[in-house]
Structure 1
Amino acid sequence: MGGGAQAPVLQALPGGTPIPAGKTEVLWLGQASVRITTPGGKVIMIDPWLKTNPKTPANWKDLAALGKIDAILVTHAHFDHFADAPELAKMHNAPMYGPAGLGQTVATYGILPANLAPRFGKGGTILPWGPTGPKITAVRAEHSSELGWKDAAGKDIVLPGGEPQGFIVEMENGFKVWHMGDTGVFGDMRLIGEMYRPDVVLMPIGNHFVMSPQDAAMAVRDMIKPRYAIPIHYGTTPQLRGTPAELIQALGGAGPRVLVPEPGQKYDF
């Protein structure tokens, strides 16, 4: 793990089949911002919105505190998922992988050079570090993806952001994390669960723009069936009123173990 700031560790207790050898770190920094450190030491930053995120702890608002970043994943173009991605990509010369349409927009408008905004589409799997490194697969999300930006004159404009997506990140040891991005419930969550069998699902529960806690509970209990579920994308604004307590209540003692970190805390798997 790199980085100047230190994250409290919350150990995830194994249940069911043993966790594969190695350690995967999952650090939540508020909203959908998650830093994953793989057993092989690769650092993947997903949906970075830190500098102006009211839920991000002060010591993590300095992007240098993240330490080295090897790759950036952006699920869609909305500000609360994309905001700090260009700066981080330039800071680390790290590619920003996201919806193909977003990558094209970002390169066309000079937000990032084309080599830092590679195109990537749903259903595709990329191997940024070769066949023995982590694998990243883009999967469906049910949302929208407009990119709000300012033109050269400082006027607010809205640009195409491609189609929203989630990511299945498979570690070197086979451990899998599904970051859903922003999404509502859709029937193919069951198919994605059966195809990829994620160990951990990072899922939005805030309601209004994304799933409610009740919808999220149904999705992980009845369709996806992971070992662990981590709620994200709640409590940042008044509209995102869903809570982890409502999620746990809706699960009714069934389904995965729910892990509830505070922003700035991490789980080791």
Structure 2
Amino acid sequence: MSQPSPSTTRLLRKLLAAAALCSATVAFAQNGKTEVLWLGQAATRITTPTGKVIMIDPWLTSNPKTPADFRALTGVGKVDLILVTHAHFDHFADAPALALMHKAPMYGPAGMNQTVTALGILPAELAPRFGKGGTIMPFGPTGVKITAVRAEHSSELAYKNPATGKDEVHVGGEPVGFILEMENGFKIWHMGDTGVFGDMRLIGDMYRPDLVLIPIGGHFVMNPADAAMAVRDMIKPRFALPIHYGTTPVLRGTPAEFLSALGTAPGTARMLVGEPGQKFDF
């Protein structure tokens, strides 16, 4: 019997890997847990208790901290929804490609997505718009609830014009963070990129997040001391996962510095320690 060609063998391996990912998602959903997979910088894959997969800020293919298995976009498995906090490359880069690959809507700040559709990066049906204070329930009335909240940052969209070959900078709307309430009530605040602002306390009081994904790198975002103060004194979640550090030389903040500044007083959030590619179940 003849052996399959190398190209056929590669295709079979890809199909088997995809089937394994789908089986794992189904099995996980049956456990009724929330899975958080951090992939470096702000890139995060969340699998909800009913098996919906949400990608947030997917900078993967050129992210130096993303594990090799996830740098090919097929490595993240199925994607049902994409969230982008703002238009900067290290949050937006692979979102349009994932949206087209999975026919999954890419929700983001209204101004950013208006630019995305005007430039023809995505069709309007894959770039729905909403803004701060707005809440969506993309999987129906009993599914995940997602609310856009304030972030203190900027949101320019860098674009290479295919007609001229020149680099351009376009309006990217205002940056946001996202509060995600799972089907079982577990709440996650993905803060995107932000500095400290007083309404962190208000957002914490309003939504009471269980888990905060908080930037600590400094320079463009909070440094570890600022982030620790925000978590300990203003937001008061159960868990804190530091993100957005170590990808470029200016993002010098470290989890060790964050943990030291956070302290161990009773009631202080537990810092989750892990490398990109590590999963956390809740």
Q: TM-score range by the shorter chain?
A: over 0.9
For residue 65 of structure 1, report the CA deviation from its aligned partner.
1.0
Q: Distance in 1 between matches of 2:60 and 2:19?
A: 14
* 1:45 is the counterpart of 2:52: no
Q: Does the 8 Å contact 1:3/1:68 carry over to 2?
A: no
Q: Is contact 1:3-1:65 (8 Å) kept?
A: no
Q: What is the distance in 2 between the residues matched to 1:71 and 1:180? A: 18
Q: Give CA-to-partner distance per residue, 1:15-36, whole Å, 9 cap, x none.
A: xxxxxx8300000000000000
Over the matched positions of the two proteins, sequence identity in percent amounts to 76
2:101 partner amino acid: M
1:241 to 227, 243, 252: 252
Q: 124, 130, 141: which is aligned to 2:134?
A: 124
Unmatched 5+ stretches in structure 2 = 1-17, 23-30
Residue in 1 that maps onto 2:192:
181
2:130 aligns to what SS in structure 1?
coil
Correspondence 1:229 to 2:240: yes
1:142-185 deviation digits (Å, cap 9, x = unpaired)? 00000001112210000000000000010000000000000000
Establish whether residue 161 from structure 1 lines up as the match of residue 172 from structure 2.
yes
Larger RCO, structure (CA 8 Å, separation 6 or more): 1
Per the TM alignment, residue 261 of structure 1 is displaced from its structure 2 partner at its CA by 1.5
Q: Please list, as runs of the form range in 1=range in 2, the aligned pairs for 1:93-132 lying within 5 A after superposition.
A: 93-132=103-142
CA RMSD in angstroms comes to: 1.4
Bigger radius of gyration: 2
Cα contact 1:220–1:226 (8 A) shared by 2: yes
Q: Is the 8 A contact 1:182 1:210 kept in 2?
A: yes
d(CA) in 2 for partners of 1:138 and 1:245? Answer: 30
The corresponding residue for 2:158 is 148
Does the 8 Å CA contact 1:3/1:67 hold for their aligned counterparts?
no
The alpha carbon displacement at 1:4 in A equals 6.4
Query: Could you tell me whether the CA contact under 8 Å between 1:3 and 1:66 is conserved in 2?
Result: no
For 1:98, what is the secondary structure of its paired residue? strand
Report how far residue 5 of structure 1 moved. 7.3
Residues 63-115 of structure 1 deviation map (CA, whole Å, 9 limit, x = unaligned): 11111100000000000000000000000000000000001000010000000
Residue identity matched to 1:136: I
- One-letter code aligned to 1:185: V
Residue 74 of structure 1 pairs with residue 84 of structure 2: yes
Tell me the residue number matched to 2:219.
Answer: 208
**Is the aligned partner of 1:55 residue 2:65?**
yes
Q: Distance in 1 between matches of 2:21 and 2:125?
A: 29
Q: What is the CA-CA distance between 1:3 and the residue it aligns to?
A: 8.0
Aligned to 1:265: 278
Instruction: Give the whole-Å Cα distance in 1 for the aligned partners of 2:21 and 2:59.
Output: 16
Match of 1:135 in 2: 145
Instruction: State the match for 2:7 in structure 1.
Output: none
In structure 1, the partner of 2:45 is 35
Query: Match of 1:91?
Result: 101
CA gap 1:3/1:127 in 2 versus in 1, 3 angstroms = farther
User: What is the count of residue pairs matched by the alignment?
Assistant: 254
Normalising by structure 1, report the TM-score. Answer: 0.92
CA deviations on 1:207-226 (whole Å, 9 max, x unpaired) are 00000000000000000000
> What residue number does 1:193 align with?
204
TM-score (norm 2): 0.88
Identify unmatched segments of 5+ residues in structure 1. Answer: 7-20
